[in-house]
Structure 1
Amino acid sequence: MGKATGFMEIKRKKATERDPLERIKDWKEYAGTFSDDAASQQGARCMDCSIPFCHIGMEIEGAASGCPVYNLIPEWNDLVYKGRWREALDRLMKTNNFPEFTGRVCPAPCEGSCTVAINDPAVSIKNIEQKIIDKGFEEGWIEPRIPEVRTGKKIAVIGSGPAGLAAADQLNQAGHEVTIYERADRAGGLLIYGIPNMKLDKGVVERRIQLLRQEGIHFVLNTEVGKDISAEDMKASFDSVIICTGAQKHRDLPLEGRDGKGVRFAMDYLTRSTKKLLDADIELEEELNAEGKDVIVIGGGDTGADCIATALRQGAKSIVQFGKHPQLPVRRADSNQWPAYPQVFSLEYAHKEAKEKFRKDIREYSIQTQKFVTDAQGNLKELHTIQMEKKQDENGVFFFEEIPGTEKVWPAQLVLIAIGFEGAEETAVKAFGVKTMRNRVLAAYGKFLTTEENVFTAGDARRGQSLIVWAINEGREAAYQVDEYLMGTTSLPTVANM
């Protein structure tokens, strides 16, 4: 695969990015894509592994390792190296329904498990993936695939995020009539409203939605199952139902002053900001406008980074991001060996932008919020913190301990809580009466059947907050189970027969 000595001769490169100080002036995608020649060169770095770990798709140390959709990475890297783009696209589409999404927003666990990465920088897998699918659209190779035969079976998918879209795509290609119910005004779930435009252009999402419509999938928008339509009506109208509502039940910070004006959930902020971008007539409430404000983001993950990038574009006066854990090491720790996902220090796109804007890294580590303080009108004015020390007890269990004398007061008029999600929201789940465990719909991986007959589940609603690639994986696998459940047999691909 690739050039035998490619990784020895060719250095890793990433696709070009726009200048941070220029790109914060607009909402366009911050990253570019490879040229054909650059992609071919980077594909040449993919060594002839006897056992490629880049597509093992498993969890190690609680994090994804390798590609959860089992992309045939060495194969399409080799095809790109040889300039056989159409074949590379065919190989890519065998395992991934939406490479244009993963090529932009996936954290690329495949690269952490790349064999080259044992001693050298990994192959630029994610950028090559995006290049293949973008070229496929540019060349007109991506066309509607209209099923030749319909089975007469009807399936409802609740939620139009990556899990729901993947399940619907697979089942539609199997010949079933599929209808997706989405409570928002646009299809795409978090792909539309949870990820800002500069990271994933909404035109890219809309292009795929339109393609799915052309292929025969029906979308019912502005409709919340369990509120606007009953579970009983859906069971009467469809042969099977798949719950793919995601895990959008916010994890909160119930501290003093939490109800102050200006303390909001990160996802509410990102959603309203994107709605404003997509519809100029929508008014962005003043409480969610970062312009001229001291902004604090609580939470060190991707959602927090997206809040930083959004606040920069709105013209925030200052931005600080709080993280519970200490700063990660520059290189892998001894306890974090390949092929596990590399837990190392990095500058995400938003952090690069903020560093250029404010001339420093805006992240604060090992810090805990103690309370929010408001003025006489209930408006947030400051936030109080204390530093924490991470320790380990005699049983090897880690815990955090406050460091006396490290209290600090921070000016803040907007605080965004980005500490994750507790599980699935309850409206649709309660409507169908399916059992849950730890706020997740109860269903075994590989079966995806809930405790109710003909009702399946997939994605974050089942597994909890996770990656887009796991959502696509579960949507595809659930589709296999639904097709077999309804028809007695199936020709859809699954992990066992790929």
Structure 2
Amino acid sequence: MAKQPMLKFVNIERDMPEKRPPDLRRSDFHEIYAEYADTKAKEQSSRCSQCGVPYCQSHCPLQNNIPDWLRLTAEGRLQEAYEVSQATNTFPEICGRICPQDRLCEGNCVIEQSGHGTVTIGAVEKYITDTAWEQGWVKPIAPSVERAESVGIIGAGPGGLAAADVLRRAGVQVTIYDRYDRAGGLLIYGIPGFKLEKDVVMRRNKQLEDGGVTFVLNCDVGNDISFADIRAKHDAVIIATGVYKTREIRAPGVGGLGVERAIDFLTASNRKSFGDTVEEFESGRLDAKGKKVVVIGGGDTAMDCVRTSIRQGAESVKCLYRRDRANMPGSQREVQNAEEEGVVFEWLTAPKGFVGDPVTGVMVQKMRLGQPDVTGRQAPELIEGSDYVEDADLVIMALGFEPEDLPTLWSEPDLPVNRWGTIKADYVTGATALEGVYAVGDIVRGASLVVWAIKDGRDCAETILAKLALPQAVAAE
């Protein structure tokens, strides 16, 4: 009888890939985790309990068949593990790097709840697909039949790219329109390289382009081409723009020099990593070097900003968040990484205003947690008389994102939006009230996770394929 390769969580401890020392990773934008070796990947996968009700899978937006690809990895059947992983996830190597596993799959691992430490699902997922690329197991997109219908996708972020992949594999003609000069959306210009190195994204972009997807870049819908023209060109249109409008606060000094938006700061940094000339960076405006940096916010974008500031050589980096550590929305793993790298967190603090133009400080109010709000989280309350000024040469606002006013920008008043400005669309199919128009990702959900955008893109593409089913395509098969 073959030896049982699984259920080894009692004897084998959880072991993440080795993390580069903070003093080394502070000086560059390379990813901080090393790759598993084959033996280590098998060992860690073998810790899976193969439970009858896999909560890791049910708490994954893509419903990834995690227990099966962990078992296949433990058995040394890595190519099969990749095929199982790829069957439900268009970009597993990206999700393995940036998904908040501590809140999703790993956070719901049964053995974690029994005190043995979760299976390192994200690290194994990353290892499987990185190995697949190295070994040539990732096959080109090669439709068995070409279809006449075409789909236009507005937005080259994860939702749009995932939809394009599914549609193109079925032979549909796909054109992606994006305002930026590189495809990838926030994967390229929002998320720093120390979490997601850019060649990982560019490799997928090339796969799509080589597979026949047409990219129309530097294309601002509403200016360079109208929404009506895109609808006229295609049999269906998917809106996958994401949400890029920065949520603002009203406070004295908010418009002063040195009070900057997170998206501008991160985009400038990522452009520099490509070797682009970035005027705002060269002038020092969006360069944290030698500055006292204060980042306002507690989500993953704030974590990206504080850790980027460290790498740019800031004199000091502080993060202000109005709740405590336990109630922050960002990944706890990211907070730990930031603290290791020298970031100081000022919990239960909120900005009241800004001093100077250029900025010299943040007027800070101390908070305490009161009764739960409508979301069930304890609402922050001001502590009267606790104000103080935090010195700052650069303040980065990372308070989240809101949708742009697409009906106005695109001269399409019939585009259905709700009171928050996000598009009204079916959460499963992506269908809107406009015939042939679909929407996926953050422009429907509001600012959310990459993995949800991938799911939405895939589901929407399958819906379109069912609706566009061609008699000639069926006949050709």
TM range (shorter): over 0.9
Matches of 1:348 and 1:151 in 2, distance apart? 50
Preserved CA contact (<8 Å) 1:382 1:409: yes
| Alignment of 1:11 onto 2:26 | no
Matches of 2:372 and 2:7 in 1, distance apart? 48
SS of the residue 1:6 aligns to: coil
Name which of 446, 465, 469 aligns with 1:483: 465
| Residue 423 of structure 1: how far off its partner (Å) | 2.8
TM-score (norm 2): 0.92
- Gap change, CA 1:329 and 1:10, over 3 Å in 2: farther
| Residue 198 of structure 1: how far off its partner (Å) | 1.5
Between 36-45 and 423-432, report the one with greater CA deviation.
Answer: 423-432
Give deviations 1:252-284, integer Å, cap 9, x for gaps.
Answer: 112100011000111110001111221243331
Find the counterpart in structure 1 of residue 383 from structure 2.
403
SS of the residue 2:88 aligns to: coil
Matches of 2:94 and 2:311 in 1, distance apart? 22
Preserved CA contact (<8 Å) 2:300 2:330: no
Find the counterpart in structure 2 of residue 496 from structure 1.
none
Between 243-252 and 386-395, report the one with greater CA deviation.
Answer: 386-395
1:74-113 equivalences under 5 Å are: 74-108=67-101, 109-113=104-108
1:150-161 equivalences under 5 Å are: 150-161=146-157
Letter aligned with residue 47 of structure 1: S
SS of the residue 1:241 aligns to: strand
| Alignment of 1:286 onto 2:284 | yes
Matches of 1:483 and 1:371 in 2, distance apart? 52
| Residue 342 of structure 1: how far off its partner (Å) | 11
Name which of 412, 421, 429 aligns with 2:401: 421
| Alignment of 1:439 onto 2:438 | no
Find the counterpart in structure 1 of residue 49 from structure 2.
47
| Residue 352 of structure 1: how far off its partner (Å) | 1.9
Find the counterpart in structure 2 of residue 232 from structure 1.
228
Paired-residue identity, %: 39
**Over the residues paired in the alignment, what is the CA RMSD in angstroms?**
2.3
Find the counterpart in structure 1 of residue 316 from structure 2.
318
Name which of 334, 347, 350 aligns with 2:338: 350
Matches of 2:53 and 2:441 in 1, distance apart? 28
| Residue 422 of structure 1: how far off its partner (Å) | 2.2
Preserved CA contact (<8 Å) 1:292 1:316: yes
| Residue 447 of structure 1: how far off its partner (Å) | 2.6
Matches of 1:474 and 1:397 in 2, distance apart? 27
Find the counterpart in structure 2 of residue 62 from structure 1.
none
- Gap change, CA 1:432 and 1:101, over 3 Å in 2: farther
1:65-464 equivalences under 5 Å are: 66-108=59-101, 109-119=104-114, 120-283=116-279, 284=281, 285-328=283-326, 347-354=335-342, 362-374=344-356, 378-392=357-371, 398-424=378-404, 426=406, 430-433=410-413, 434-437=415-418, 438-464=420-446
Find the counterpart in structure 2 of residue 470 from structure 1.
452
- Gap change, CA 1:138 and 1:343, over 3 Å in 2: closer
| Residue 312 of structure 1: how far off its partner (Å) | 1.0
SS of the residue 2:298 aligns to: coil
Letter aligned with residue 400 of structure 1: P
Matches of 2:261 and 2:373 in 1, distance apart? 37
SS of the residue 2:268 aligns to: helix
- Gap change, CA 1:343 and 1:314, over 3 Å in 2: closer
Matches of 1:78 and 1:267 in 2, distance apart? 40
- Gap change, CA 1:86 and 1:138, over 3 Å in 2: same
TM-score (norm 1): 0.88
Matches of 1:353 and 1:14 in 2, distance apart? 18
Matches of 2:112 and 2:90 in 1, distance apart? 27
Letter aligned with residue 337 of structure 2: Y
Matches of 1:272 and 1:346 in 2, distance apart? 21
Find the counterpart in structure 1 of residue 39 from structure 2.
37
Letter aligned with residue 19 of structure 2: E
| Residue 430 of structure 1: how far off its partner (Å) | 3.7
Matches of 2:181 and 2:334 in 1, distance apart? 35
Consecutive unaligned residues in structure 2, runs of 5 or more: none
| Residue 131 of structure 1: how far off its partner (Å) | 0.3
Find the counterpart in structure 2 of residue 61 from structure 1.
none
- Gap change, CA 1:398 and 1:430, over 3 Å in 2: farther
Preserved CA contact (<8 Å) 1:250 1:422: yes
Matches of 2:345 and 2:455 in 1, distance apart? 33
SS of the residue 1:481 aligns to: helix
Consecutive unaligned residues in structure 1, runs of 5 or more: 57-65, 331-340, 356-361, 492-498
Aligned length: 462
Matches of 1:197 and 1:267 in 2, distance apart? 15
- Gap change, CA 1:156 and 1:129, over 3 Å in 2: same
Matches of 1:369 and 1:394 in 2, distance apart? 20
Preserved CA contact (<8 Å) 2:303 2:335: no
Matches of 1:153 and 1:209 in 2, distance apart? 22
| Residue 428 of structure 1: how far off its partner (Å) | 8.2
Matches of 1:156 and 1:327 in 2, distance apart? 43
| Residue 129 of structure 1: how far off its partner (Å) | 0.1
| Residue 326 of structure 1: how far off its partner (Å) | 1.6
Matches of 1:260 and 1:166 in 2, distance apart? 39
- Gap change, CA 1:144 and 1:379, over 3 Å in 2: same
| Residue 452 of structure 1: how far off its partner (Å) | 1.1
Matches of 2:175 and 2:50 in 1, distance apart? 43
Matches of 1:236 and 1:35 in 2, distance apart? 51
SS of the residue 2:151 aligns to: strand
Letter aligned with residue 450 of structure 2: I
Give deviations 1:417-461, integer Å, cap 9, x for gaps.
Answer: 101112345378744441101111011212311121111000001
Preserved CA contact (<8 Å) 1:2 1:46: no
- Gap change, CA 1:201 and 1:161, over 3 Å in 2: same
SS of the residue 1:288 aligns to: coil
Matches of 2:175 and 2:408 in 1, distance apart? 16
Matches of 2:333 and 2:66 in 1, distance apart? 26
Preserved CA contact (<8 Å) 1:225 1:428: no
- Gap change, CA 1:480 and 1:431, over 3 Å in 2: farther
SS of the residue 2:390 aligns to: strand
